[in-house]
Structure 1
């Protein structure tokens, strides 16, 4: 693999985190709440939820990028690979580690993974589309800052 391809993949991961944060905050908690709401319901099962339709849409778009990407010699193919890698990381960390959608007993000892898990649980502390915190996934603000933000929002009438 060429260095330029590695740089494209890394850049794609960074852009994806930024794009996913914006998409999550302004689409999934906005006009797309009809699908995403299922993900914020208490007591949901580990089975499919309406929110999973987002993964189908994103995967379909990435498959199209691979198809038109021109093979491994073309930069667009490596962008699609970076998006796929982001999706894989998201699936493992979000669905397996945080939401336990697979029956694994993985308890992270790593401080970064613990922070990621706690920040996502704080995101789910709000069950409505307004007022949530921590919309990113691979980066989260410090947990205490998120807790303080939630406390401040509860004080506002």
Structure 2
């Protein structure tokens, strides 16, 4: 029974993280912490590292903290929550940083319907250089209109 609950909590956390990414992107990154996110929309720097990467580090710290606390207390469900956040972070990194932005030159030839839709949605998001008037703040689940030809 505990393994079943672990899997449910893990999958639930992974799914909730898509909402958290959307919410954080729309209301925090394009809101009061735009100063950390704007270098992701405007490539006016020569560094591989972006201030925007601090958001990724924040969620990594949350994930590691949950896993470590779960290992040292009776808060066992912190472990599947931490691993759910970690799994979402890995998926986000692969889709956003590797596939879409090509920070590593991998997955260039992915050209299926899902890849095209996600790429199209993100391109529409980045056409707005300022913090206002943005669209499509999600990452793994984007509106169906981006999957149409």
Normalising TM by the smaller chain, what interval? 0.7 to 0.9
Distance 1:137 1:14, change over 3 A: same
Q: 1:109 aligns with which of 92, 108, 111?
A: 111
**Which whole-Å CA distance do the structure 2 matches of 1:4 and 1:110 have between them?**
34
Distance 1:4 1:25, change over 3 A: same
Tell me if structure 2 keeps the 8 A contact 1:46–1:102. no
Q: 1:90 aligns with which of 73, 89, 92?
A: 92
Report matched runs for 1:12-31 at 5 Å: 12-31=13-32
Q: Report the alpha carbon displacement of residue 111 of structure 1 after superposing the two structures with TM.
A: 0.7
Tell me if structure 1 keeps the 8 A contact 2:98–2:107. no
Aligned-residue CA RMSD in angstroms? 2.2
For these two proteins, the number of residue pairs brought into alignment is 145
SS at 2:87 equivalent = helix
SS at 2:71 equivalent = coil
TM-score of the pair, normalised by structure 2: 0.88
Runs of 4+ in 1 over 3 A off after TM superposition: 42-46
Q: Over residues 24-51 of structure 1, what are the superposed CA-to-partner deviations in whole Å (9 max), with x where a residue is unaligned? A: 1000000010000010014766711111
SS at 1:66 equivalent = helix
Q: Which residue of 1 aligns with 2:34?
A: 33
Q: What residue ranges of structure 1 are gaps of 5+ in the alignment?
A: 146-157
**Which whole-Å CA distance do the structure 2 matches of 1:45 and 1:92 have between them?**
22
Matched, 1:56 2:57: yes
Distance 1:16 1:105, change over 3 A: closer
Q: Report the alpha carbon displacement of residue 129 of structure 1 after superposing the two structures with TM.
A: 0.2
**Which whole-Å CA distance do the structure 2 matches of 1:82 and 1:138 have between them?**
15
Distance 1:44 1:143, change over 3 A: farther
Q: What residue ranges of structure 2 are gaps of 5+ in the alignment?
A: none
Q: Report the alpha carbon displacement of residue 112 of structure 1 after superposing the two structures with TM.
A: 1.1
